[in-house]
Structure 1
Amino acid sequence: MNIILGSIILILLTVVLLQVKAARQKQADLKYIQDKLNQIITEKTDERLLLQTDDANLKLLLIEMNRLLDHNLMVVAKYNKTEMAMRKMLSNISHDLKTPLTVVIGYIEIVLEDSNLSDNERKDQLEKVYRKSQEVLDLINKFFDLAKLESGDRDMPISRLEINEICRNNILSFYDILTSKGFDVDINIPNQSLYIFANKMALDRILQNLISNAIQYGSDGNIIGIEVRYDEGAIFIDIWDQGKGIQASRQDQVFERMYTLEDSRNKQYQGSGLGLTITKRLVEEIGGEISLSSIPFEKTTFTIKLKRIKY
């Protein structure tokens, strides 16, 4: 009897010792986690919590905490990228505003100070002032449009739209410009009515931006096309040209703020760099996606993908 009682006591003591050891180990593990988290936060490192443990609950906690660290790292990286992009954008906008404003001031000084100007010469100078002022206003409007889109401060009521007629109307609205520049136009829009839920003003702006972009940068090819394709769940709108295109190494950059394709020595290819950024934000606002494929002087295509509805 004494032997049995002694054995029970020994087993109980062993269990208690194991529990004490496990509690101390858990305490040590939690202390490690606390110290490591404090180090990661203080030193702003991208380290993870690495700990060998047999505790299933502690393993789950470590997994979730590492997920949180990964998420935090992505948020910080995105913030830093956005901040750098904003600084670059503000710098470029300052430069782009300064240039036409300097020209405007120069023209105005001529008009004010040169008393020998004829009426025709004075009118010519004022027309130049007007055109440059329009450039400044256009840039400012684009900047504020982008700011509103990125802050979510833009009301976009959604309605059922027939995509066929909207695409036709937008390409036809450029008829005079395309004719004057000698462009051929290839329109491939199916007769079957196709529908989406979107904001009409946003969709018009998207198409107009892409068509304007194709005219500006695709002039070497003298042809512009619009094609509407579809499958069971989606509608695809392609705006394409056969101009100078975009090299593969630069295609990921075209939707970034203030990115432009221009050669600074070639005024033909200069732009504000905000048009495609605004276009991408608008596409995302109406629940779509936009992509680019380009083979220079062969075919450059911007594709909008939108969810199709069948009623």
Structure 2
Amino acid sequence: MKVENYSYETFPRYTKEIEGALELKGNKENLRCRMLDVEYQQGCMIRFLFPNTILDETKKYPLVIHIQGSGWYQQDMNDHIFDFMPIVKTGYAYAIIQYHGAPEYKYPTQISDVEKAIAFLKDHYQNYPIDFNNIFLSGDSSGGHIALLIALQKKYEFKGIIDLYGVTNFMTFNDWYSKYDWKEERNAIDFLGSLDNQLLIEVSPITYLKENMNLPPFLILHGDKDHVVPITQSIELYEKLKEYHYDVTFGRVHDADHGRSIFYNEDVYQTIINFLDSKKR
């Protein structure tokens, strides 16, 4: 029997008894997560993760623009799909930004690519379930480094910044334990082209942190057994933000390495969700 003018609310529910059947509850508040890939420039895409519900397909969600870590090399765009799904299911959209990777593309290409992606989102947000009045910027590892560079140079306005174990100061990177000495690794030279001190200062986000900048709130999370980016990188940024009286929250994730399963757990998810909930308009 065809139903005219279908809507979820008016569609008839089958209520007759079914002998031997399990009776399971549906959850009208539950959100699924769906993915959509959009090319914002040739060779680079935005991977959207959207909440999805049958009840209100016109709803607009706050957006977290996330820059994924990769050592500044070509990114694995599947790396964080499942990590961020618990946050998406609480009512936030994610836009994971792909950029051209080192060594073929060097600084500042990666920053320029992210800025192009942000401009694309600004110009086309009406086409997606995005509330552009509530935009957050996030990044992990090298993506956290890029996010901080963009945030601290104040080219865009965000409701909040989420830095997940990002590089903050190349000049102090070797001050704590790491598996790597950046002076001996290919990452920095492949990304920057040289290890000139002036260039290292230029690409260190903490260089741009000053007093009275009218910055958005910051959430910084870092594992205390991170073998790649020393936790002291995040502590240095946290303490400088506190010194200048900015709104900043720092979370040390006990026993967590550089991301991975120990890091992405319920405590971390709830901390991020609480931050987003408290800062959105």
TM range (shorter): under 0.3
TM-score (normalizing by structure 1): 0.23
Larger Rg: 1
More strand by proportion, 1 or 2? 2
Instruction: Return the structure number with greater helix share.
Output: 1
| TM-score, normalising length: structure 2 | 0.24
